[in-house]
Chains A and B, each alone.
Chain A
Amino acid sequence: MAAVAATSSAIADAALELIEVKYEILPFVIDVEDAMLPGAPILHDDLFTAGVEPKATTASNIAKRVAFKLGDVDAGFAEADVVVEGYYTTQAVHQAYIEPHACVVTVGSDGQSLIYSSSQGHFMVRAYCAKLLGMELSDIRAMPSEIGGGFGGKTVVYLEPIAMALSKQTGRPVKMVMTREDVFRSTGPTSGGTIAVKLGAKKDGTITAATAVLKFQAGAFPGSPVQPGCMTCFAMYDLKNVTITGYDVVSNRPKVAAYRAPGAPISTFATESAMDELALKLGMDPIALREKNAAKDGTKTAYGVTFQNIGYTQTLEAAKNHPHYTAPLGPNQGRGVASGFWFNIGGESTGAVHVNEDGSVSIVTGSPDIGGSRASMAMMAAEVLGIPVEKVRPVIGDTATIGFTHLTGGSRVTFATGMAVTQAAERVRDDLKKRAAMIWEIPVEAVDWKDGEAVPAGANAGGFDPMPLAAIALKAAKTGGPIIAEVSVNAQGAGPGFATHICDVEVDPETGHTTVLRYTAIQDVGRAIHPSYVEGQIQGGAAQGIGWALNEEYIYDKQGKLDNAGFLDYRVPVASDMPMIEAVMIEVPNPRHPFGAKGVGEVPIVPPMAAVANAIRGAIGIRMPHLPMSPPKLRAAMDAKAG
């Protein structure tokens, strides 16, 4: 590997031209199924399939096998009155963040380094750089820059370690900025994959058995999201007999990266398309079929978790009763329904609450804000302290000023960081009560906190005027010094998220073009801390899913070279492609969070591909099992049907 630093781009470009690289073209494989075939070119001589018995002894492109099982699927299929099977494929797609990767790094003569970069987690940036360059974590200070979109694509480092190495050598600050083409060619898309699904059911719609085999493209190194793909694909249903097998497969493509609900949209496209086929075969309403088999509190999933406090059936009920579901359709129009699941995560987060001398409040967290989390943090702290949200200013601290905080991803921030902030605010509130008690010279137990003020309670009720937060802050020096609290948590108990989407499309039989006419996304959001941001998350996820369904794909030539490395050729949906996406929020609070929050950002991208596919099936009577469902594919399918 080589890297060039220069005082201008022109000099750097000229220097790059002086580097002559000779490539030896080795046998290669770029397709996931081809990579699994016997005799396929092996990418890594030291890669042996994990998760198989007996232990693998020969190198393979299959990095890992994942298997989940409940009951006896053979017995289940034997019980079935109807069986549907399908084989589905998806392509690698881009997270489509608008801001390319960029960083500025400086390494001082004392070895202390400073990184400014846009990422989904500056503690992650610090950790990777330290590991790759053999440095102590404490020698690196990573500063979070404002982020212009990530969607999972900024959960790893690409530039920072290189910039750091160059800065170390030159003793100068180093800036690196990717072009859009760089982003497409040298960062990770999400996986493409193949999914084989089989469902068996009784005539009344009870699913007796389900199987899925997932093969996910990892790129050149292991690490596809096949495990979450396996965890999520049937999690909406209470299945007694189910097996899910997943394969993480390497091939000669860029290493994949996370993308919103990693793995779930891919596998769910297949399983929810199969559910639609099952409903058709049974002659059942697709929502009724889902209701018949829906996961409820107490349902045990194939991956081992038993659900509590989930709101899936409520989303189905809301979908069934929504006017959209019964609105009339015109010629060449169809309606599709699909559901989705994301388990949501918690994990390590830190939040600090500082009461300033004038009574305003600062919040510091370690979570880069990619979806409006600062506003949610401020609202939660304001709620605990009983003060207007305008009095609270949230900021993102760097790695030297706030405790460790895991990535912004997996829909964890409002839950986990929110928990840390809430607990810190509660500690501050308790401290404020203590200070008021000290000033009033009464026991702290005799002080309540109401609407941002300390109020005497019990026997002292009415004995003193309420003391506002600002008044207590003004006297902080005399009551023990600054009023602050910092709380670190490893948050557990993230409430799982469920969604049901309804999609109407019209297919132009002449062109094969699909127009999304109407879209309703219904989601259990726990408690919506900031409803308009939740609505935005739902709309954004649905829009990305619609793009994935209809247009988006990394197009490689037969040599594995990307043909559409830019937004002119890689088409994401634009405003004029989309109808208004109606977001319906169902609130089934999560009892493990002080305000009932559940993660909301991942789930909305899970159902759309199947919802669109099911709508197209309704419009033209053809199942489209391969993404994207572009006009040429639809036209070809219509031609094939016509004979």
Chain B
Amino acid sequence: MDLPQIESVASPRSRDSLPPWRDDAAWLAGGTWLFSEPQPALRSLVDLSAMAWPDLEPSASGLRIAATCTIAALEAFRSPADWPAAGLFGQCANALLGSFKIWNMATVGGNVCLSLPAAPMLALTVALDGVAWLWQPDGGERFLPMADFTVGPQRNSLRPGELLRAIDLPASGLRRRAALRQASLTTLGRSAALLIATLDESGGFALTITASTIRPMHLAWDSPPSSDELDARIQALLAETWFDDVHGTPAWRRHMTRRLAAKLHQELLA
């Protein structure tokens, strides 16, 4: 939809040309959410597309994903053979509620920064121990573990004027075996539970729970837990952890989380 109240659009080509931050501005990446509903508080957009950040930068230490990298580009990434967890890229793209056509515009950074509980890019980057590279408005920068990035539904740790530049996935995370399970009220519906489990070579097991919880929950074990231990950790989550909206009741989400976790446990440890 049109955003008729927008008065200015900046298109910086470098960090130096970023305009001073204003509270009625928004970073514009793919715009698939921004243009999907009225934004009455906004007057200014800062279009990041001209920054021309490389979408994906693989290296020995891991993979840097630019905030402006589209879902389509991530899904199309051909990973090294020793990064089996990169198989999650396509699965997470498919977990996005939206046509594959949306992948061509929607960005990894936009999905993460919107911080919806069902955001599959959040699930992906938390599960693989991602670290957010943030540009601060004063010219500084900071790094934030993705596990700490989101604090609640559509609430995150970004400070005013901070810009997500990229997310770094460490090679150690990408080298893990990984599996994903998702549930929703309807086929191809918005995720009501989205879980990713990973297993490293030394037996370290981690379970990332998203969509069913108000923010990503990252549960980790140094050695593989039994199915009962896994279930006990999930059952121990506080009642207010479970997300409640039109896409599923907390009780059902909890039920599905336990079921999906059991399946992931079985898949990775059987």
A residues at B contact (CB < 8 Å):
8-10, 13-14, 17, 179, 181, 510-513, 550-551, 555, 563-564, 566, 568-571, 574, 576-577, 630-632, 635-636
Contact = CB atoms under 8 A, between A and B. Distances in A.
A571 B97 CA distance: 12
A577 B97 contact: no
Contact of B248 (A8, A179, A568, A632): A632
Interface stretch (B12-20, B168-176, B213-221, B252-260): B252-260
The 5 closest A-B pairs by CB, nearest first: A632-B252, A10-B4, A9-B4, A564-B246, A632-B249
Contact of B2 (A9, A550, A636): A9
Interface of B: 1-2, 4-5, 37-38, 40, 97, 183, 185-190, 245-249, 251-252, 255-256, 259
A568 B97 contact: yes
A563 B246 contact: yes
B252 A568 contact: no
A179 B1 contact: yes
A505 to B, nearest CB: 14
B246 A511 contact: no
B184 to A, nearest CB: 9
A13 B40 contact: yes
Contacts, number: 57
Contacts of A8: 4
A632 B187 contact: no
A630 B185 contact: yes
B246 A569 contact: yes
Main secondary structure of the interface of A (DSSP, over half): loop
A574 B99 CA distance: 13
Given A563-B245, A571-B189, A10 B5 contact: yes
Contacts of A563: 245-246
A570 B247 CA distance: 9
Contacts of B185: 513, 551, 571, 630-632
Nearest to A569: B246
A181 B37 CA distance: 9
Nearest to A555: B246
Contacts of A179: 1, 38
Contacts of B247: 569
A566 to B, nearest CB: 8
B252 A635 contact: yes
A546 to B, nearest CB: 11
A523 B243 CA distance: 44
A302 B259 CA distance: 50
Nearest to B263: A510
Contacts of B187: 576-577
A570 B97 CA distance: 13
Contact of B188 (A17, A576, A636): A576
A17 B246 CA distance: 30
Given A13-B40, A511-B259, A632-B249, A574 B188 contact: yes
5 contacts: A8-B4, A13-B5, A14-B5, A511-B256, A550-B186
Nearest to B248: A632
A100 to B, nearest CB: 11
Contacts of A17: 40
Contacts of B97: 568
A563 B252 CA distance: 19
